[in-house]
């Protein structure tokens, strides 16, 4: 899978070189690159922002550099998915991560300031599949940190990125429930004991206990998931 992130802060994405995603890049399972939006400006100051029509606080990102960058990055056959991280988007979740993990090419458009001129999206939506996606109901300073979270959630679902594919099956949200609690040695730590059933060796009882725990935890912490 090829992923590109257009940004005025390419160095945000340096962390993708470490750990599992770093390994996935070395193995050519994942081809990631950060693209500097300022490379698509033509003035001495490499300007990417301007004041909004109609007034209001802050600055907006100008359409022209975004247009030139996307002209170059979006595949002409329409096969690219353009993802715009924004608190005004649809909510990101495991299902959306799994859908995006099947795509060949994703471009993340990371805005800063108060956002990007709307015409960039109106135009891009005629050239590519486009998704505006939010991580949740809070505001970040720009799309970069949100894009990083989405890239990690998506890329770890690509076959071969996670060594033990079974670990994807039991984790939180893969079955609509939060994950059950887990324990490792020692059996007693600071007077706290690992539940007896997990040490029993009875796999049917263990599976039953884990499901009960997952349901109880989901009811308590995220009842909305059970609706």
List interacting residues with ligand 6GU (CB under 6 A). 85-87, 133-136, 138-140, 142-143, 146
Q: What is the DSSP letter of 183?
A: -
Tell me whether the omega of the peptide bond preceding residue 197 falls within 30 degrees of 0, making it cis: no
| Alpha-carbon span 58 to 115, nearest angstrom | 10
Question: C-beta of 140: minimal distance to ligand 6GU in Å?
Answer: 4
CB closer to ligand 6GU out of 60 and 177: 60
Dihedrals φ, ψ of 199, to 5°? Answer: -100, 5
Question: C-beta of 194: minimal distance to ligand 6GU in Å?
Answer: 37
Question: C-beta of 132: minimal distance to ligand 6GU in Å?
Answer: 8
The tokens for 37 are 């939006």
Q: What is the DSSP letter of 124?
A: H
Question: C-beta of 110: minimal distance to ligand 6GU in Å?
Answer: 9
CB closer to ligand 6GU out of 151 and 214: 151
CB closer to ligand 6GU out of 10 and 143: 143
CB closer to ligand 6GU out of 65 and 115: 115
CB closer to ligand 6GU out of 18 and 139: 139
How far from chain centre, in Å, is Cα 136? 12
Question: C-beta of 73: minimal distance to ligand 6GU in Å?
Answer: 19
Dihedrals φ, ψ of 185, to 5°? Answer: -65, 150
Question: C-beta of 30: minimal distance to ligand 6GU in Å?
Answer: 21
| Alpha-carbon span 83 to 109, nearest angstrom | 6
| Alpha-carbon span 144 to 18, nearest angstrom | 17
Strand ranges, E, within the chain:
2-7, 31-36, 49-50, 60-61, 81-91, 105-109, 129-134, 188-189, 192-193
CB closer to ligand 6GU out of 53 and 138: 138
């Amino acid at each position: 899978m090829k992923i590109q992130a257009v940004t005025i802060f390419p160095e945000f994405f340096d962390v993708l070189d470490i750990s599992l995603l770093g390994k996935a890049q070395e193995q050519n399972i994942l081809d990631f690159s950060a693209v500097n939006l300022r490379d698509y400006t033509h003035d001495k100051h490499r300007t990417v922002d301007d004041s909004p029509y109609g007034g209001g606080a802050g600055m907006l990102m100008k359409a022209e550099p975004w247009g030139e960058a996307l002209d170059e990055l979006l595949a002409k056959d329409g096969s690219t998915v353009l993802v715009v991280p924004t608190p005004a988007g649809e909510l990101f979740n495991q299902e959306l991560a799994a859908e995006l993990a099947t795509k060949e090419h994703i471009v993340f458009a990371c805005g800063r300031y108060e956002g990007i001129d709307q015409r960039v999206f109106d135009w891009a939506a005629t050239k590519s599949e486009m998704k505006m996606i939010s991580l949740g109901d809070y505001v970040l300073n720009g799309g970069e940190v949100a894009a990083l979270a989405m890239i990690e959630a998506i890329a770890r679902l690509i076959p071969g990125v996670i060594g033990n594919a079974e670990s994807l099956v039991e984790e939180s949200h893969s079955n609509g429930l939060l994950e059950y609690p887990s324990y490792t040695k020692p059996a007693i730590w600071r007077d706290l004991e690992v539940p007896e059933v997990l040490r029993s060796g009875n796999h049917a009882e263990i599976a039953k206990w884990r499901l009960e725990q997952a349901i109880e935890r989901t009811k308590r912490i995220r009842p909305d998931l059970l609706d």
